[in-house]
A = this chain, B = another copy of it.
Amino acid sequence: MPVDVPPPSSDKPTGADGSVPTGRRIPEATVARLPVYQRILEELLRSGTSTVSSELLGAAAQVNAAKVRKDLSLLGSFGTRGAGYDVAFLVEQIDHQLGLDRDWTVAIAGVGNLGRALARSQGFAARNFEVVALVDTDASIIGERIDGVEVRHPDDLPAIAESTPLAIGVITTPAPVAQRVADLLIEAGVRSLLNFAPRVLDVPDDVFLRYVDLSMELQVMSFYQARRLDHEAGGRMPIIRSVGLSPGGRR
């Protein structure tokens, strides 16, 4: 389901014509690919590449070059014919489209291995996802500091939210307490939830909810590798976007 792009909001007076097209619709398939391009572009940026063609970006992202061009043209006319795309500018534009040029506060519920991994993740920090709250019920963990953030009890969430509004909640608790912790997060003002716990959650209609299953990718791999083993035939594994799939959000 495509979504309206916000009105001009013209910052970034730029190369082409200061674009950012007006009420364009961005297909969800494109939205799902933007983070992929992002990651590659950032890697190119680090390696000092200043310009990239749709062909090259497509090769790195395992995506047809025409698709890359179409995706990018949906955001605006950012390329230069004959030359390609300016990497730094493109990163900026995609960041803007994804809303990554604003700060998002994140609360992580469940400070086990996964919670810690996420809290320290470069991918979070680099993209303006600021982990501002860590909660866990385990008394031996409460009080511990992870990257300067103190682990507190879930019951403190409302208090925490009072001083720092919480935008996104991440649930990395065991399944049995996932629903309860989701309720607390929502009560504390969280409007988007990312659930790693293997439990279907019940949330109000206006809360964005997405599920992640770390074993889901492995399951898809299993499918294709089994095929390959079964009949060493044309067992090409296609590129599927998945994992994040699952009972998510609303319809």
Chain A residues close to B by CB (< 8 Å): 1, 3-4, 6-7, 9, 28, 31-36, 38-40, 43, 60-62, 97-100, 102, 104, 106, 112-114, 116-118, 120-124, 127, 129, 167-168, 170, 191-192, 194, 198-200, 208, 210, 212-228, 230-231, 233-251
Residues of B within 8 A of A40 (CB): 200, 247
Q: A198 to B3, alpha carbons, bound, how many Å?
A: 28
Q: What number of copies of this chain does the assembly contain?
A: 2
Q: Which of A33, A127, A239 has the most chain B CB atoms closer than 10 A to its own CB?
A: A239
- A123: which B residues are within 8 A, CB to CB? 198, 213-215
- Contact residues in B for A238 (Cβ distance below 8 Å): 1, 3, 28, 249
A-B contact pairs, 19 of them (CB 8 A): A1-B238, A6-B230, A28-B238, A35-B246, A36-B246, A38-B219, A39-B198, A40-B200, A43-B199, A62-B250, A97-B223, A99-B223, A112-B117, A113-B113, A121-B214, A191-B228, A194-B218, A216-B244, A239-B249
Q: How far, in whole Å, are A31 and B35 apart by their CA atoms in the complex?
A: 23
By beta carbon, the residue of chain B nearest A233 is B4
Q: Is the CB of B200 within 8 A of A43?
A: yes
Q: Would A245 and B32 count as touching, CB distance under 8 A?
A: yes
